[in-house]
Amino acid sequence: MAKSPIHTLGQEIGLFLEQAMLPVFQSVADTNGFYLDFVGKDRPARKGKKVKWEDIYGSSHDLDFLIEKNGSDTNMGQPVAIIEAAWRRYTKHSKNKAQEIQAAVLPIADKYSHLKPFLGAVIAGDFTAPSLKQLNASGFNIIYFNYANVVKVFLKFGVDIYFDEDTEDDDGWKKLEAFRKLTSSKKDAVTTELLNLHEKEINSFTSKLKEALDRQIKQIFISPLFGENYSFTDMTNAKKFIYDYNSEPNNEELTFAKYQIVIHYTNGDKLEGSFRSKDRAISFLNSVLH
């Protein structure tokens, strides 16, 4: 079944905004000595045009932008920033789109949790406050090009991209054709206007991204824990145990439990791990980028 013209128009507007942000992310990556991968880039290190990474279960996820440490055209690096882009015209779809972004990014972030990758989302169109809050709560930094601003900027340069569910196909085709006829110079002008209009958001986003890429280890706390674990099914017995427990050291009764490791970074990030063996604790520390 053929796609409606307004559906196609929405997809192409979303792609336009991705392309608008590409030089911004490229500049951040280049300035900080990292490698930027993105959809459509020719890269011998991977197959095809898509940016695909596998989660811990071997499932593949398509990503939009990914910044790597030690990456190159011929070598896959370590993912230190994952940024998704999304367009949604109607607020009724925004929650589902937020969940799609989480489903694509979080499994990869979990697999590489020892790298504590920066999470970002460039979203455009109509998104509800709860959907934005949902992404923030999952650790995403956001740039939001709201629909009204996008329409206003394109209209300034002679192209009316406004549509809704009542837009007729004939009108939709005209809008799509007008969008596609934009000259390169006008596209550049639209991009500049949009970025200027959202300058504060973009600067805040890129500032946090730079901090994440520049971060250094501030402190490493290692706590060797001894003793048994005790479990309770009610609060009364749990509190009674604490009241009655002999907290005076008695080395003869203590059994090593685990190493609790907490790493604090200069940008406020924190990385934690618990390990029962020395080898696993050392392996964890070796895996941390610094």
* CA dist., res. 86 & res. 132, Å (int): 12
- Give the residue-averaged pLDDT of 235-252: 82
pTM for the whole structure: 0.85
**Closest by CA position to 289, among listed 195, 215, 234:** 215
Identity of the highest mean pLDDT range in 85-94, 206-215, 230-239, 260-269: 206-215
Strands (DSSP E) along 184-255, which ranges? 217-226
Quote the pLDDT of residue 288: 83
Chain segment 129-158, per-residue pLDDT in tens? 999 999 999 999 999 999 999 999 999 999
Residue found under tokens 């979303």: 14
Pairing between β-strand 78-88 and β-strand 118-125 as defined by DSSP bridges: parallel
Q: Are 38 and 68 in contact (CB under 8 A)?
A: no
Parallel, antiparallel, or unpaired: how do β-strands 140-146 and 118-125 relate?
Answer: parallel
pLDDT at 252: 64
- Chain centroid to CA 206: 13
Q: Which domains does the chain have, with CATH numbers?
A: 5-214 (3.40.1350.10), 217-287 (no CATH)
**Alpha-carbon distance 259 to 92, whole Å?**
47
The mean predicted confidence, pLDDT, of the chain is 92
User: What is the pLDDT averaged over residues 21-35?
Assistant: 96
Classify 254 as helix, strand or coil: coil
* 199-214 and 5-31 helices, crossing angle to 10°: 50
| C-beta of residue 94 within 8 angstroms of C-beta of residue 88 | yes
Gap between the Cα atoms of 204 and 200, Å rounded: 6
d(CA 202, CA 89): 21
Does pLDDT of 1 surpass 60? no
Residue 234, pLDDT > 70, answer yes
Instruction: Identify the DSSP state of 2.
Output: P
Position with higher pLDDT, 176 vs 90: 176
The residues, any chain, with a CB within 8 Å of residue 135's CB and separated by 6 or more, are 98, 101, 102, 121, 123, 142
By the 8 A CB rule, do 35 and 44 touch?
no
Over 90: is that where the pLDDT of 118 sits?
A: yes
Summarize the confidence of residues 115-142 as an average pLDDT. 95
- The pLDDT assigned to 2 comes to 59
Length of the chain: 290
Per DSSP bridges, beta strands 256-265 and 217-226 are antiparallel
Strands (E), 75-155: 78-88, 118-125, 140-146
